[in-house]
Amino acid sequence: MIKKTDLLAIGHTALDSIVLVKEFPSPNSSTLIKQIKNFDGGAAANVAVVASALGLKSALVSAVGDEFKASNYHNKLKTMGVDTEDMIVIENEKTPMAWVFTDSNNDQISYFYWGAAAYFKESEPPERAIKKATAVHLATGDPCFNRRSGEVASEFQKLISFDPGQDLHMYSPEKLKSVIKVCNILFGNHYEIDRILKTLNMDITELRSIGPEIIVKTYGKDGSMIYADKKIKIDSILRTPVDPTGAGDSYRAAFLNAYLNDKDLEYCGKFASAVSSFIVEAEGCQTNVPDYNMTIERMKEKWDE
């Protein structure tokens, strides 16, 4: 019997180094590192972990090095119930690594070592994993692999969400448009959505007309905006920020959780805002992940629901 999953996340699993600096240096200069810590990360893995913590049956497809299967990270994913059966394991390669630099204004600059993820483009779409899933989330990763995976998911009439994230610069206009055409929900922060609109020479209405009926644009501490049949503004739940890394991924996982449970879009945004408020309270993308009940309590504190 095939084990069904609610949400399949496709994209990066990575080892993160979170680096705190007072300010970013200009070219040909340096700056003092205040702190550096190592964490489990990767946008697709972050989505799968948060989705699982909130009660969804999640699965993950990433390209990882041959050391990953024996790692503590992989053991943690299995303990949390994340299905890793269809992971792409590359012999004699390393699992991707990310260095995320955060300054005193909570602005970020990221450097990413693809390692095993460079083999995404040579890999076949994970058809077996896609067939088992109700929804497929295309996170940061190789544009060609995401396009092919999105096309397969569309053939099987899956709910498809797409978040190119920091890999947006890798998409040609043609590849970007081809993935957006097959997705039902497009996620991005305000920089990314604005760049997509500029790249495709479209406004929000035109972008929705070619594929995603729902576009979610996040603004960090200033909340988020949901574009659907109507525009919905969602406030953030402000907490003292320790590290913003991973807040966006948790927002996406939480939004999809609520959406797959047939909640209206305003509820989806509020639920997502509540989950992401936990993530910023601790260092690392997967350090302070709430469960469903914790999230509902925080929603009640904000909106008395």
Give 9-44 pLDDT, tens digit per residue. Answer: 999 999 988 899 999 999 999 999 999 989 999 999
Band the pLDDT of 100: cuts 50, 70, 90. confident
Residue 2 confidence (pLDDT) above 70: no
What lies within 8 Å, CB to CB, of 209 at 6+ separation is none
Burial class, 257, CB count within 10 angstroms (exposed 0-12 / middle 13-18 / buried 19+): buried
**What are the structure tokens assigned to 43, written together?**
């946008």
pLDDT at residue 3 in the model? 67
pLDDT at residue 108 in the model? 86
Band the pLDDT of 182: cuts 50, 70, 90. very high
Q: What is the pLDDT of residues 191-225, one digit of tens each?
A: 999 999 999 999 999 999 999 999 999 998 999 99
The residues assigned a catalytic role are: 249
Which helix (H) or strand (E) covers residue 111, if one does?
strand 108-113
Residue 226 confidence (pLDDT) above 80: yes
Q: Hey, what CATH topology would domain 5-24+34-303 get?
A: UDP-N-acetylmuramoyl-L-alanine:D-glutamate ligase (3.40.1190)
- Across 93-104, average pLDDT: 91
CA dist., res. 167 & res. 112, Å (int): 10
pLDDT at residue 242 in the model? 84
pLDDT at residue 1 in the model? 43
3-state secondary structure at position 28: coil
Question: Position of tokens 């399949």?
Answer: 8
8 A C-beta contact, residue 199 and residue 176: yes
**What are the structure tokens assigned to 271, written together?**
């639920």
| % the chain with pLDDT above 90 | 84
3-state secondary structure at position 220: helix
- Cα–Cα distances (Å) from 291 to 149, 250, 297, in that order, read 29, 12, 10
pLDDT at residue 305 in the model? 53
pTM (2 decimals)? 0.90
CA dist., res. 208 & res. 203, Å (int): 9
CA 294 vs. chain centroid, Å, equals 21
pLDDT at residue 98 in the model? 85
| Residue 211: how many other CB atoms lie within 10 Å | 21
Q: What's the mean pLDDT when you consider all of the chain?
A: 94
Q: What is the pLDDT of residues 256-285, one digit of tens each?
A: 999 999 999 999 999 999 999 999 998 778
Band the pLDDT of 245: cuts 50, 70, 90. confident
- Cα–Cα distances (Å) from 283 to 105, 158, 243, in that order, read 15, 34, 5
CA 202 vs. chain centroid, Å, equals 24
